[in-house]
Amino acid sequence: MNDDRKNLICEWLAAEGESRKKAIAEATKTLLKDYTNLYEHFIPIELHRLANTLNSEIISLENMRGDASLVPKQNGFRILVNSNLYTGRYRASIAHEFAHTLFYTNPALDKPRRLFPQSSREEHFCFDIARNILAYEPHLNAIGLNKESDPAIIFAKLTDILLLSRPWAARVMLADHGFATGIGGRWLKIADEWKLSPGSSAATPFLSARKRIKLRNLAKEYLNKPNFQPEGYTIIAVREKMAEGIFVLVIRK
């Protein structure tokens, strides 16, 4: 049974392109199987209920080093999470650890053991699974995103109803589901110059490098002149408390 599980996960990790999207969907479905049978109507995903279906418990700790960690225990897992994280990052960190449980032996049989060493490919795969858990496709449809054309409303529903962080909402909107075309990212003012915060950016996959640079320049121009609205584009900006950042979306009309 463990060999079958290991072979399946190896196939998932090796997948590319459309096959990778299918692998992420299959992995997400595996994690949510019992939860959706019981709680699919709960919007957003209720993480403690999901933990119960995955032989897991969530423990919040103050002043924890890092965001979250997965600790195997007899017949299950503990997910330790930093209670000081803001809501979007808190939920993302827990969902990410849920994804890592796939890479262990069946917890119902004994104390879970890793099927193979952790890798950067696993990390990226788990981030994608976590985003699919929190932006569960039936929930996207339930809140009307498949029928919505206003990017500001789409972005607001992803952050306010599904409680996604702004970077993850942008990835769901632009890259995962193509609800809009453009770029998004958190900008910080450093030494009187606006710079993109590492790891916060998202973009529609088919945009060329040249086009992405153009859109980033439009974002920077907006930050220097907030009344600036280029023809053919919609700019959405949300000021953040965190490090005085501003999250900016530049969407092609």
**pLDDT computed for residue 240 by the predictor:** 85
Domain match, 117 and 156 both:
no
Domain-terminating residue out of 77, 106, 134:
134
Contacts 24+ apart (CB under 8 A), 186-190: 186/240, 186/245, 186/246, 186/247, 186/248, 187/219, 187/220, 187/223, 187/245, 187/246, 187/247, 187/248, 188/243, 188/244, 188/245, 189/223, 189/244
**pLDDT computed for residue 1 by the predictor:** 61
Q: Torsion angle, CA of 228/230/233/235, rounded to 10 degrees?
A: -10
The span from the CA of 57 to the CA of 78, in Å, is: 5
Domain match, 180 and 94 both:
no
The span from the CA of 95 to the CA of 16, in Å, is: 23
Domain match, 24 and 99 both:
yes
Domain count along the chain: 2
**Global pTM?**
0.94
Contact call for residues 162 and 142 (beta carbons, < 8 A): no
- The DSSP code sequence of 177-224 is S-SS-EEEEEEEEETTEEEEPTT--EE-TTS-HHHHHHHHHHHHHHHH
Domain match, 9 and 107 both:
yes
Domain match, 112 and 38 both:
yes
DSSP 8-state symbol, 58: E
Domain match, 7 and 106 both:
yes
Tell me whether residue 140 is in a domain. no
Tell me whether residue 126 is in a domain. yes
Domain match, 104 and 165 both:
no
Domain-terminating residue out of 108, 134, 160:
134
Domain match, 156 and 130 both:
no
Which residue range is the domain that position 127 belongs to? Answer: 2-134
**pLDDT computed for residue 40 by the predictor:** 82
Q: What is the CATH number of the domain that holds 27?
A: 1.10.10
Per-residue pLDDT of the chain (253 residues; tens, 9 = 90+): 677 889 999 999 999 999 999 999 999 999 999 999 999 889 999 999 999 999 999 999 998 999 999 999 999 999 999 999 999 999 999 999 999 999 999 887 789 999 989 999 999 999 999 999 999 999 999 999 999 999 999 999 999 999 999 999 999 999 999 999 999 999 998 888 999 999 999 999 999 999 999 999 999 999 999 889 899 999 999 998 766 799 999 999 9
**pLDDT computed for residue 243 by the predictor:** 62
Q: In terms of DSSP bridges, do strands 76-82 and 56-61 run parallel, antiparallel, or are they unpaired?
A: parallel
Domain match, 159 and 123 both:
no
Domain match, 190 and 221 both:
yes
Contact call for residues 243 and 188 (beta carbons, < 8 A): yes
Domain match, 120 and 82 both:
yes
